[in-house]
Amino acid sequence: MNDSVEQPDLERLGSAVPRHVAIIMDGNGRWAEQRKKMRFSGHKAGVDSLRQVVRCCSDKGIKALTVFAFSSENWRRPKEEVGLLMDLFLISLRREIKRLHKNKVRMNFIGDISAFPKKLQKEIAAAQELTIENSGLTFTIAVNYGGRWDITEAMRGVAREVAEGNLAPDAITSEHIERYLSLRELPEPDLFIRTGGEMRISNFMLWQLAYSELYFTDTLWPDFKTEAFASALESFANRQRRFGMTGNQVEQIKGA
Ligand code: IPE
Ligand code: IPE
Ligand code: MG
């Protein structure tokens, strides 16, 4: 027996409700194309799904929701679509922030926002500042985010500690790396959802998804409303998470 292997987080093992849900909101473009509309109208329609999912998370007492709104690879899209997305982020944030604040949601953004229009950067900073004391759902929006970027940034932090002589290379543990990751203050996602039918992670939270339950659905994001989210939560509640143990061990721990 290797005693250096840590026990799993018991709260993570037994809970039927996820503490943290991470979502890749995909399928907006196809939703619009199916309706012979501009791709942008799919993005616009997706805002309503997000509003509903945020509400459900608050209602169910889920502590954290993290959504992927713009990846570091999405800059590859046509300039016009990127520009319209930036406008939509700004308009939606301005429109929704009061209600979010009223509902005690704490807003958080991860990713390199320095590449975004100044107006949007200001609005992001203001939203985070306004809601910083809120005790409800921690709602994180990942923009210009990439899982590899996140890990690379963390490596830089660790390397600085080493260069300053405060940490020996052989003493580096996963905790040192975690201390520098974007979502360090949150539990790792228990449930990962991707809408739109693709079965891939697309450079989302590579480190943090190590032991998340994965849920893929063909439903396109603009159609992913309260009911669809409830189905994902139900699927999660019926999973047996094992973290490397046997099913019997898990049942014993849960029954104890
Ligand atoms: C996800 O929907 C939203 C963003 C990436 C901003 P898509 O725009 O990727 O929709 P599809 O995959 O083309 O249908
Ligand atoms: C992932 O969706 C990023 C977001 C939802 C913001 P994409 O549509 O960009 O992913 P790929 O390109 O199909 O992998
Ligand atoms: Mg897509």
DSSP string across the chain: --TTSPPP-HHHHH-SS-SEEEEE---HHHHHHHTT--HHHHHHHHHHHHHHHHHHHHHHT--EEEEEEEETTGGGS-HHHHHHHHHHHHHHHHHHHHHHHHTTPEEEEES-GGGS-HHHHHHHHHHHHHHTT--S-EEEEEEEE-HHHHHHHHHHHHHHHHHTTSS-GGG--HHHHHTTSTTTTSPPPSEEEE-SS----TTSSTTTTTTPEEEE--S-GGG--HHHHHHHHHHHHT----TTS-HHHHHHHHH-
Best residue for ligand 1 mutational test, from 23, 24, 26 (most atoms within 8 Å of Cβ)? 26
**Cβ proximity of 254 and 13 under 8 Å:** yes
Catalytic residue among 2, 48, 74, 112: 74
- Least distant ligand from the CA of 22: 2
Task: Give the per-residue pLDDT at 160.
Answer: 98
Reported as a single tens digit per residue, the pLDDT across 178-218 is 999 999 999 999 999 999 999 999 999 999 999 999 999 99
Query: What number does the ligand 1 atom closest to the CA of 43 have?
Result: 3
Residues with CB under 5 A from ligand 3 (ion): 26
**Ligand 1 centre and the CA of 160: distance in Å?**
37
The Å distance, Cα 220 to ligand 1 centre, comes to 9
Question: Quick one: pLDDT band at residue 3, thresholds 50, 70, 90?
Answer: low
Active site residue 190: no
Quote the pLDDT of residue 5.
80
- pTM (two decimals): 0.96
**Å from CA of 27 to ligand 3 middle:** 5
- Going from the N-terminus, what domains does the chain have, and what CATH number goes with each? 15-146+188-255 (3.40.1180.10)
Ligand 1 neighbourhood includes 195 CB (under 6 angstroms): no
pLDDT mean over 79-94: 97
Average pLDDT score over the chain: 96
- The closest residue, in CA terms, to atom 3 on ligand 2 is 71
The 213-216 sheet, strands edge to edge: 106-110, 138-145, 64-71, 20-24, 191-194, 213-216
170 in catalytic set: no
Residues that constitute the known binding site for Mg(2+): 26, 213
Question: pLDDT class for 1, splitting at 50, 70, 90?
Answer: low
Tell me which amino acid residue 158 is.
V
Chain segment 222-256, per-residue pLDDT in tens:
999 999 999 999 999 999 999 999 999 999 988 87
Query: Is the pLDDT score of 10 beyond 90?
Result: no
Indicate whether 93 pLDDT > 70: yes
Q: In 3D, which of 206, 63, 225 has the Cα closest to residue 148?
A: 206
- The pLDDT value given to residue 210: 95
* 50 confidence band (pLDDT: 50, 70, 90): very high
